[in-house]
Amino acid sequence: MKTLTPFGVQDYLPEEAKARNELLQTIQTIFDNEGFQPISTPAFEYYDKLKTAMGPALCDQCVRFFDPEGRLLVLRPDHTTPIARMVASRLSQSNLPLKWSYSDPIFRKSASQGDTEIFQSGVEIIGDSSPESDAEIISTCIQALQSVGLKNIGIDIGHTAFIDPLTDKQKSALARKDWVEFGSIPERGGKELVTNIPELDALASQLEKDGLSDFVSFNKGLIKDVDYYTGIFFDCYVEGYGQCIGSGGRYDQLISNFGLDAPAVGFALQVNRIEEALRHA
Protein backbone atom coordinates (compact mmCIF):
# COMPACT_ATOMS: atom_id res chain seq x y z
CA MET A 1 0.00 0.00 0.00
CA LYS A 2 1.23 3.49 -0.82
CA THR A 3 1.78 5.99 1.96
CA LEU A 4 -0.14 9.14 1.15
CA THR A 5 0.82 12.75 1.84
CA PRO A 6 -1.66 15.35 3.15
CA PHE A 7 -3.42 17.55 0.61
CA GLY A 8 -1.50 20.71 -0.32
CA VAL A 9 2.10 19.43 -0.22
CA GLN A 10 4.24 17.63 -2.78
CA ASP A 11 7.36 15.50 -3.15
CA TYR A 12 10.31 16.38 -5.38
CA LEU A 13 11.99 13.39 -7.01
CA PRO A 14 15.66 13.84 -8.06
CA GLU A 15 14.94 15.34 -11.49
CA GLU A 16 12.29 17.65 -10.09
CA ALA A 17 14.52 18.65 -7.16
CA LYS A 18 17.38 19.36 -9.58
CA ALA A 19 15.18 21.60 -11.74
CA ARG A 20 13.84 23.34 -8.64
CA ASN A 21 17.35 23.98 -7.28
CA GLU A 22 18.55 25.36 -10.61
CA LEU A 23 15.57 27.69 -10.73
CA LEU A 24 16.19 28.89 -7.18
CA GLN A 25 19.90 29.36 -7.89
CA THR A 26 19.14 31.45 -10.99
CA ILE A 27 16.85 33.72 -8.97
CA GLN A 28 19.32 33.87 -6.07
CA THR A 29 22.11 34.97 -8.42
CA ILE A 30 20.03 38.02 -9.42
CA PHE A 31 19.33 38.81 -5.76
CA ASP A 32 23.05 38.44 -4.91
CA ASN A 33 24.12 40.65 -7.82
CA GLU A 34 21.69 43.33 -6.67
CA GLY A 35 23.26 43.28 -3.22
CA PHE A 36 20.59 41.41 -1.21
CA GLN A 37 21.92 39.25 1.64
CA PRO A 38 20.22 35.88 2.23
CA ILE A 39 18.48 35.40 5.58
CA SER A 40 16.09 32.81 6.98
CA THR A 41 13.28 33.05 9.54
CA PRO A 42 11.99 30.15 11.71
CA ALA A 43 9.48 27.72 10.20
CA PHE A 44 7.08 28.52 13.05
CA GLU A 45 6.61 31.28 15.63
CA TYR A 46 4.20 32.32 18.40
CA TYR A 47 0.87 33.17 16.82
CA ASP A 48 -0.05 35.89 19.33
CA LYS A 49 3.25 37.73 18.66
CA LEU A 50 2.57 37.92 14.91
CA LYS A 51 -1.21 38.20 14.74
CA THR A 52 -1.63 41.99 15.11
CA ALA A 53 0.96 42.63 12.42
CA MET A 54 -0.50 39.95 10.13
CA GLY A 55 -3.95 41.54 10.12
CA PRO A 56 -7.28 39.70 9.87
CA ALA A 57 -7.03 38.60 6.21
CA LEU A 58 -3.71 36.79 6.69
CA CYS A 59 -4.77 35.41 10.12
CA ASP A 60 -7.73 33.74 8.38
CA GLN A 61 -5.40 31.91 6.01
CA CYS A 62 -2.56 30.84 8.32
CA VAL A 63 -1.90 27.34 9.68
CA ARG A 64 -1.89 27.16 13.50
CA PHE A 65 -1.11 24.38 15.99
CA PHE A 66 -0.19 23.90 19.66
CA ASP A 67 3.27 23.21 21.10
CA PRO A 68 3.59 20.58 23.90
CA GLU A 69 2.96 23.33 26.52
CA GLY A 70 -0.28 24.33 24.83
CA ARG A 71 0.96 27.61 23.31
CA LEU A 72 -0.47 28.54 19.94
CA LEU A 73 2.09 28.51 17.12
CA VAL A 74 1.80 29.57 13.48
CA LEU A 75 3.67 28.06 10.53
CA ARG A 76 5.48 30.84 8.63
CA PRO A 77 2.40 32.58 7.12
CA ASP A 78 4.37 34.89 4.82
CA HIS A 79 7.93 36.18 4.80
CA THR A 80 7.29 39.86 5.39
CA THR A 81 5.76 39.56 8.88
CA PRO A 82 8.47 37.29 10.39
CA ILE A 83 11.16 39.45 8.76
CA ALA A 84 9.58 42.56 10.32
CA ARG A 85 9.61 40.74 13.69
CA MET A 86 13.24 39.68 13.15
CA VAL A 87 14.46 43.17 12.20
CA ALA A 88 12.75 44.81 15.18
CA SER A 89 13.83 42.19 17.71
CA ARG A 90 17.44 41.72 16.53
CA LEU A 91 18.54 45.06 15.09
CA SER A 92 18.25 48.82 15.58
CA GLN A 93 18.07 52.03 13.52
CA SER A 94 21.87 52.10 13.23
CA ASN A 95 21.76 48.88 11.15
CA LEU A 96 19.46 50.38 8.52
CA PRO A 97 19.08 50.32 5.57
CA LEU A 98 19.11 46.58 4.97
CA LYS A 99 18.75 44.61 1.77
CA TRP A 100 17.72 41.03 2.49
CA SER A 101 16.67 38.05 0.39
CA TYR A 102 14.98 34.78 1.34
CA SER A 103 14.03 31.49 -0.23
CA ASP A 104 11.78 29.34 1.98
CA PRO A 105 8.26 27.92 2.03
CA ILE A 106 5.26 29.65 3.58
CA PHE A 107 2.13 27.83 4.73
CA ARG A 108 -1.49 28.77 4.06
CA LYS A 109 -4.75 26.92 4.56
CA SER A 110 -5.38 25.49 1.12
CA ALA A 111 -8.29 26.72 -0.92
CA SER A 112 -10.16 24.14 -3.00
CA GLN A 113 -7.18 23.40 -5.27
CA GLY A 114 -4.39 25.50 -3.76
CA ASP A 115 -1.12 24.51 -2.13
CA THR A 116 -0.62 24.54 1.64
CA GLU A 117 3.17 24.67 1.33
CA ILE A 118 4.05 27.51 -1.02
CA PHE A 119 7.70 28.06 -1.87
CA GLN A 120 8.66 31.73 -2.17
CA SER A 121 11.84 33.58 -3.09
CA GLY A 122 11.91 37.29 -2.49
CA VAL A 123 13.66 40.39 -1.24
CA GLU A 124 13.04 43.28 1.14
CA ILE A 125 14.63 46.74 1.40
CA ILE A 126 14.25 47.88 5.00
CA GLY A 127 14.85 51.46 6.16
CA ASP A 128 14.36 53.30 2.87
CA SER A 129 11.12 55.12 2.01
CA SER A 130 12.20 56.60 -1.34
CA PRO A 131 10.47 55.98 -4.68
CA GLU A 132 13.93 54.88 -5.87
CA SER A 133 13.73 51.90 -3.51
CA ASP A 134 10.28 51.07 -4.93
CA ALA A 135 11.84 51.16 -8.41
CA GLU A 136 14.78 49.02 -7.27
CA ILE A 137 12.35 46.38 -5.97
CA ILE A 138 10.37 46.36 -9.23
CA SER A 139 13.54 46.24 -11.31
CA THR A 140 14.89 43.31 -9.27
CA CYS A 141 11.56 41.52 -9.69
CA ILE A 142 11.62 41.95 -13.48
CA GLN A 143 15.24 40.77 -13.69
CA ALA A 144 14.48 37.68 -11.59
CA LEU A 145 11.49 36.74 -13.77
CA GLN A 146 13.50 37.27 -16.95
CA SER A 147 16.44 35.26 -15.61
CA VAL A 148 14.36 32.08 -15.32
CA GLY A 149 13.33 32.38 -18.97
CA LEU A 150 9.81 33.75 -18.73
CA LYS A 151 8.69 35.80 -21.74
CA ASN A 152 5.90 38.40 -21.90
CA ILE A 153 5.93 39.22 -18.23
CA GLY A 154 3.99 42.15 -16.84
CA ILE A 155 3.65 43.97 -13.54
CA ASP A 156 0.52 45.83 -12.46
CA ILE A 157 1.14 48.49 -9.83
CA GLY A 158 -1.60 49.71 -7.51
CA HIS A 159 -1.38 52.21 -4.68
CA THR A 160 -3.20 52.92 -1.43
CA ALA A 161 -3.83 56.45 -2.80
CA PHE A 162 -6.05 54.88 -5.52
CA ILE A 163 -7.99 52.77 -3.01
CA ASP A 164 -8.29 55.03 0.07
CA PRO A 165 -10.87 57.46 -1.45
CA LEU A 166 -13.23 54.59 -2.38
CA THR A 167 -16.31 53.63 -0.36
CA ASP A 168 -16.32 50.29 1.51
CA LYS A 169 -18.80 49.01 -1.05
CA GLN A 170 -16.46 49.90 -3.93
CA LYS A 171 -13.47 48.33 -2.16
CA SER A 172 -15.42 45.16 -1.54
CA ALA A 173 -16.50 45.07 -5.21
CA LEU A 174 -12.88 45.43 -6.36
CA ALA A 175 -11.71 42.74 -3.90
CA ARG A 176 -14.28 40.38 -5.43
CA LYS A 177 -13.19 41.54 -8.93
CA ASP A 178 -16.81 42.52 -9.58
CA TRP A 179 -16.50 45.47 -11.94
CA VAL A 180 -20.25 45.38 -12.61
CA GLU A 181 -20.92 46.31 -9.00
CA PHE A 182 -17.90 48.66 -8.97
CA GLY A 183 -19.68 50.51 -11.76
CA SER A 184 -16.94 50.69 -14.39
CA ILE A 185 -13.77 49.10 -15.70
CA PRO A 186 -11.03 50.48 -13.41
CA GLU A 187 -8.50 52.68 -15.17
CA ARG A 188 -5.20 51.08 -16.11
CA GLY A 189 -2.35 52.61 -18.06
CA GLY A 190 1.01 54.36 -17.95
CA LYS A 191 2.57 57.43 -16.41
CA GLU A 192 -0.40 59.63 -17.36
CA LEU A 193 -2.50 58.01 -14.59
CA VAL A 194 -0.18 59.00 -11.76
CA THR A 195 0.87 62.60 -12.44
CA ASN A 196 -1.07 63.80 -9.34
CA ILE A 197 0.58 61.32 -6.95
CA PRO A 198 4.16 62.60 -6.50
CA GLU A 199 5.74 59.35 -5.25
CA LEU A 200 4.16 57.33 -8.09
CA ASP A 201 5.16 59.98 -10.59
CA ALA A 202 8.74 59.70 -9.30
CA LEU A 203 8.54 55.90 -9.50
CA ALA A 204 7.25 56.08 -13.08
CA SER A 205 10.11 58.42 -14.06
CA GLN A 206 12.69 56.14 -12.45
CA LEU A 207 11.30 53.06 -14.21
CA GLU A 208 11.33 55.00 -17.49
CA LYS A 209 14.99 55.91 -16.89
CA ASP A 210 15.75 52.23 -16.21
CA GLY A 211 14.06 51.26 -19.49
CA LEU A 212 11.39 49.23 -17.68
CA SER A 213 8.23 51.17 -18.62
CA ASP A 214 7.10 48.51 -21.09
CA PHE A 215 6.81 45.95 -18.31
CA VAL A 216 4.69 47.97 -15.92
CA SER A 217 1.16 49.36 -15.86
CA PHE A 218 -0.51 51.41 -13.19
CA ASN A 219 -3.81 49.83 -12.17
CA LYS A 220 -6.39 51.80 -10.20
CA GLY A 221 -8.47 48.67 -9.58
CA LEU A 222 -5.75 46.59 -7.93
CA ILE A 223 -6.49 45.61 -4.32
CA LYS A 224 -4.64 43.11 -2.11
CA ASP A 225 -5.79 40.51 0.39
CA VAL A 226 -3.19 41.53 3.00
CA ASP A 227 -3.77 44.55 5.18
CA TYR A 228 -0.26 45.91 5.80
CA TYR A 229 0.55 47.74 2.56
CA THR A 230 0.94 51.53 2.90
CA GLY A 231 2.07 52.70 -0.55
CA ILE A 232 2.58 50.80 -3.78
CA PHE A 233 1.61 47.15 -4.15
CA PHE A 234 1.93 45.03 -7.24
CA ASP A 235 1.26 41.69 -8.95
CA CYS A 236 3.40 39.99 -11.58
CA TYR A 237 2.02 37.80 -14.32
CA VAL A 238 3.09 36.14 -17.52
CA GLU A 239 0.84 36.26 -20.55
CA GLY A 240 -0.92 32.96 -21.23
CA TYR A 241 -0.63 31.66 -17.67
CA GLY A 242 -3.83 32.39 -15.77
CA GLN A 243 -2.46 33.14 -12.29
CA CYS A 244 -0.24 35.77 -10.71
CA ILE A 245 3.31 34.52 -10.16
CA GLY A 246 4.47 37.02 -7.59
CA SER A 247 3.49 40.10 -5.65
CA GLY A 248 4.85 42.75 -3.35
CA GLY A 249 4.53 46.24 -1.99
CA ARG A 250 5.48 48.87 0.53
CA TYR A 251 4.75 48.37 4.23
CA ASP A 252 5.99 51.39 6.19
CA GLN A 253 4.01 50.67 9.41
CA LEU A 254 4.47 46.91 9.77
CA ILE A 255 7.83 46.82 11.55
CA SER A 256 6.65 49.39 14.13
CA ASN A 257 4.21 46.70 15.35
CA PHE A 258 7.33 45.05 16.77
CA GLY A 259 8.85 48.24 18.20
CA LEU A 260 11.15 49.60 15.48
CA ASP A 261 10.09 52.43 13.21
CA ALA A 262 11.35 51.48 9.74
CA PRO A 263 9.80 51.85 6.28
CA ALA A 264 10.18 48.86 3.98
CA VAL A 265 9.33 47.50 0.55
CA GLY A 266 9.68 44.03 -0.97
CA PHE A 267 8.26 41.27 -3.13
CA ALA A 268 7.90 37.48 -3.16
CA LEU A 269 7.89 35.21 -6.19
CA GLN A 270 5.66 32.11 -6.11
CA VAL A 271 8.17 29.48 -7.17
CA ASN A 272 5.57 26.70 -7.60
CA ARG A 273 3.63 28.85 -10.05
CA ILE A 274 6.75 29.96 -11.92
CA GLU A 275 7.57 26.27 -12.48
CA GLU A 276 4.05 25.73 -13.77
CA ALA A 277 4.19 28.83 -16.00
CA LEU A 278 7.49 27.60 -17.48
CA ARG A 279 5.89 24.22 -18.23
CA HIS A 280 2.97 25.99 -19.97
CA ALA A 281 5.26 28.27 -22.01
Partner 1 sequence: MPNTKPIVIAVAKGYLWKEGLALLNKCGITFESDLSDSRKLSTTDTTGMVTLLQVRSTDVPAYVENGGADLGMVGKDVLLEQSPNVVEILDLKYAGCRLVLAGTTPIDPKSLPHNTRVATKYWECTKTYFKAFGLKVIPIKLYGAIELAPTMGIADIICDLTATGTTLRDNHLVELGTVFESTARLIANTVSSRSHYDTIKSLSDQIQTHL
Nearer to partner 1, 75 or 145 (CB): 145
Stretch that binds partner 1, among 11-19, 97-105, 139-147, 150-158 (CB under 8 A): 150-158
d(CA 163, CA 170): 9
x/- letters, 171..210, toward partner 1 (CB under 8 A):
-----xxxxxx---x--x----------------------
CB 22 within 8 A of CB 148: no
* HSE-up of residue 130 (Cα within 13 Å, Cβ side): 7
| Shortest spacing between CB 205 and partner 1, in angstroms | 21
Q: Is 237 in the site for partner 1 (CB under 8 A)?
A: yes
Number of residues that bind partner 1 (CB under 8 A): 22
DSSP sequence for 5-22 = PPTT-----HHHHHHHHH
Contacts of 106 (CB under 8 A, 6+ apart): 75, 76, 77, 78, 79, 117, 118, 120
Residue of 154, 166, 191, 278 that binds partner 1 (CB under 8 A): 154
Residue of 101, 120, 219, 247 that binds partner 1 (CB under 8 A): 219
Q: Is 60 in the site for partner 1 (CB under 8 A)?
A: no
DSSP sequence for 124-168 = EEES--SHHHHHHHHHHHHHHHHHTT--SEEEEEEEHHHHTTS-H
| Shortest spacing between CB 150 and partner 1, in angstroms | 12
Positions in the binding site for partner 1 (CB under 8 A) = 152, 154, 156, 176-181, 185, 188, 214, 217, 219, 237-244
